[in-house]
Amino acid sequence: MKIEGIEVRCDACGKDLLRPPSGIYAMPETKDRTHLVYFACKGKCDKKLQEQYGWGGWSDLKDLFVPEEYIRRQMSFMNGLRAGDKYEEESWKKVRAMFMGAFVSVARESTKEEQERAEALRNMPDGL
């Protein structure tokens, strides 16, 4: 299942990062606390975009497809909005597409492998 018109593509090379889930997303912050968002393949594309946008930390898109991690990250995003985080218009559209694109895969029972991955992610120290 997929939602028509929802795409998440590498901002450097254009590769589809949703099917199958791959790559990373980063949300560097500008001086006025506005977040930019970019999607990238790991490696060369990410390095190119880091040079363009600056370092903002990154998260693995594949982890967003683990149901527990999906809701944790969505809530974190919403908490940021409540705290005053701002997103430029194009970045807002990218975040929305990312969550909508992953939703169709996480709106189901977790597999054993995903439950184990969720447990490992819960046990990681904050900030990693």
pLDDT digits (tens, 9 = 90+) for 45-101: 999 999 998 877 899 999 999 988 999 999 999 998 999 889 989 999 999 999 998
**Helix, strand or coil for residue 127?**
coil
Residue 25 has pLDDT above 90, yes or no: yes
Residue appearing with tokens 């005053």 = 84
Paired tokens of 51 = 């040079």
Strand partners, 32: none
Paired tokens of 34 = 């506005």
pLDDT of 32: 78
Its pTM stands at: 0.77
What residue type is 21 in one-letter code?
A: P
C-alpha to C-alpha distance for 78 and 14, rounded to whole angstroms: 27
Of 38-47, 53-62, 117-126, give the range with the top mean pLDDT.
Answer: 38-47
Contact between residue 15 and residue 9 where contact means Cβ atoms under 8 Å apart: yes
pLDDT of 1: 46
Per cent of the chain over pLDDT 90 is: 45
**Torsion sign over Cα 94, 95, 96, 98:** positive
Paired tokens of 85 = 């985080």
CA Rg value for the chain: 14
Contact between residue 16 and residue 7 where contact means Cβ atoms under 8 Å apart: yes
Residue appearing with tokens 């018109």 = 5
The bridge status of strand 24-26 relative to strand 58-60 is antiparallel
